[in-house]
Amino acid sequence: MACLVSRTGRHLQRYDDLGRRQVVGYKCCSDGSISDDWEVLVISSQKGHKMMFPKGGWEIDESREEAALRESLEEAGVLGNVECELGKWDFISKRNGTFYEGFMFPLLVKEELDFWPEQNVRRRTWMNVKEARDVCQHWWMKEALDILVERLNSMHQHKEQSIPFCTII
């Protein structure tokens, strides 16, 4: 078993030219199939009051995709394959009024770990897309989920064989 710890501090964090902190995240799903039961993974905030998709700071020694994978491991305890970016959102943190630039990616979850760095401060829950949209507290994450669903529906209509995404982190 490997020892895993979450990164801390902001000394390696990325900021854009306007001073907005850059964060990345993923939406997670259990498999690549499309159905009414399609599930995504949401996590609780550290204080447990809000539900969201995993996300966190993008650091200077990693790509956005690497940061999103790291955040999914640290916060949700999942490993998987990152797919094409869903988009970029500008938003203000309600907690301290800081401006952020967020990038969201789909992640096909391949493995759920029994132990992960933030398991004592977060809950992870699989739920269908409608439930996830209802409980997610951030408008920009809801928009990312909508884009993912549109993308999957479009792929399904074009009868593409591979649907490699399922989570937004």
The pLDDT-based confidence of 8 (bands split at 50, 70, 90) is low
* pLDDT 10s digits, 31-90: 444 444 568 899 999 887 899 999 989 999 999 999 999 999 999 999 999 988 999 999
- Considering only residues 43 and 27, tell me which one the structure prediction assigns the higher pLDDT: 43
CB 93 within 8 Å of CB 9: no
* Neighbour-count burial for 62-93, b at 16+ CB within 10 Å, e otherwise: bebbebbbbbbbbbbbbebbbbebbeebebee
* pLDDT 10s digits, 101-119: 999 999 888 899 999 999 9
CB 74 within 8 Å of CB 118: yes
